[in-house]
């Protein structure tokens, strides 16, 4: 698929993902829900933990990801924090996994101080049972508040923070985080952003991703590279070798249900690999973003819908 066609289809899918009417209709179709299980482990933390148990058996670690974002009340933010704590309790001692948090799910949009308090609450519980912690990065409009809240929350140890390669501001943000000793997870970016905010061409995004991955391998602490792109994976491996980094000095992260053969192949080659395992009933926006990221994902979904 050409860059232009991919950009158009990606934009259409992401627009559709934000339409509440479409979400209500599509998410109620039983066939769509069944196909979504390729990408979403289930509604409960127990479902995700069982999926991670199967991944662990193949040498792949997990990242628990509670779906849902953009809450607007303290009650909903408290409920999300409680669900994270429950997921930690379910997974503790059972599987090799970390857990990732969404700041907007913990109240970032209306109460940054409350969000920081909830981050600390979950971080204490994760540290008590030895689970690693990561923080997702959401829409560009949330980036500044996310970084500020992350750095001011007094978290110890610091979680790993995601940075989106497509955003124009990311090279500067990455320099700030490296200087602060923050571990980062580099992603391409899965949100619909305008040209004033983000790179639009897929090839240019990949080039930026390669540049930032080299920077992280050279100066970053325990970076994670979240990509399914074979060319970028080869770039990371080659740059790590050139810079004298060991295979265990960084990790690859991929999404549950996508390129499962590659996940196992990299793990067997001695690399650290994690699969990002989502769970929860709020799966529709997540599914749409996954379909928009790669043409291959959309082709798989279409074949599954027609039973091929």
What is the distance between the alpha carbons of residues 145 and 147, in angstroms, rounded to a whole number? 6
* Residue spans of the chain under pLDDT 70: 1-35, 289-308
In the set 10, 185, 208, 274, the catalytic residue is 185
pLDDT of residue 37: 75
CATH 3.20.20.220 residue ranges for the chain: 41-282
Residue 199 per-residue DSSP state: -
Fold entry, domain 41-282 = TIM Barrel (3.20.20)
Strand residues in the chain grouped as ranges (E): 61-66, 97-101, 132-135, 160-164, 184-187, 224-226, 251-255, 272-279
pLDDT of residue 15: 44
pLDDT of residue 285: 73
pLDDT tens-digit readout, 165-186: 999 999 999 999 999 999 999 9
pLDDT of residue 69: 84
What is the distance between the alpha carbons of residues 240 and 23, in angstroms, rounded to a whole number? 42
- Is-catalytic flag, 185? yes
pLDDT of residue 210: 98
In the set 10, 61, 136, 289, the catalytic residue is 136
Among the listed residues 2, 68, 18, 130, the one whose alpha carbon sits nearest the alpha carbon of residue 278: 68
- Is-catalytic flag, 136? yes
């Amino acid at each position: 698929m050409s860059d232009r066609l991919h950009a158009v289809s990606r934009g259409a899918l992401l627009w559709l993902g934000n339409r509440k009417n479409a979400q209500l209709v599509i998410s109620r179709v039983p066939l769509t829900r069944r196909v979504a299980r390729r990408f979403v482990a289930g509604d409960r933390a127990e479902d995700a933990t069982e999926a991670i148990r199967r991944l662990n058996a193949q040498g792949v670690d997990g990242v628990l990801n509670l779906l849902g974002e953009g809450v607007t009340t303290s009650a909903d933010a408290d409920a999300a924090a409680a669900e994270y704590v429950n997921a930690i309790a379910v997974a503790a001692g059972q599987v090799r996994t970390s857990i990732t948090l969404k700041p907007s799910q913990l109240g970032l949009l209306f109460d940054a101080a409350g969000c920081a308090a909830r981050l600390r609450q979950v971080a204490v519980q994760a540290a008590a049972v030895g689970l690693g912690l990561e923080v997702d990065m959401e829409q560009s409009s949330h980036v500044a508040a996310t970084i500020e809240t992350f750095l001011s929350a007094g978290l110890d140890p610091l979680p790993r923070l995601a940075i989106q390669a497509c955003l124009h501001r990311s090279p500067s943000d990455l320099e700030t985080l490296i200087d602060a000793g923050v571990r980062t997870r580099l992603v391409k970016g899965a949100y619909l952003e305008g040209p004033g905010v983000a790179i639009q061409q897929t090839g240019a995004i990949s080039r930026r991703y390669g540049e930032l991955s080299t920077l992280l391998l050279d100066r970053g602490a325990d970076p994670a590279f979240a990509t399914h792109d074979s060319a970028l994976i080869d770039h990371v491996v080659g740059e790590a070798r050139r810079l004298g980094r060991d295979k265990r000095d960084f990790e690859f992260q991929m999404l549950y249900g996508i390129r499962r053969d590659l996940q196992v192949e990299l793990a067997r080659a001695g690399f650290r690999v994690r699969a990002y395992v989502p769970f929860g009933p709020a799966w529709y926006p997540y599914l749409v973003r996954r379909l928009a990221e790669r043409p291959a994902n959309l082709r798989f979904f279409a074949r599954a819908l027609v039973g091929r």
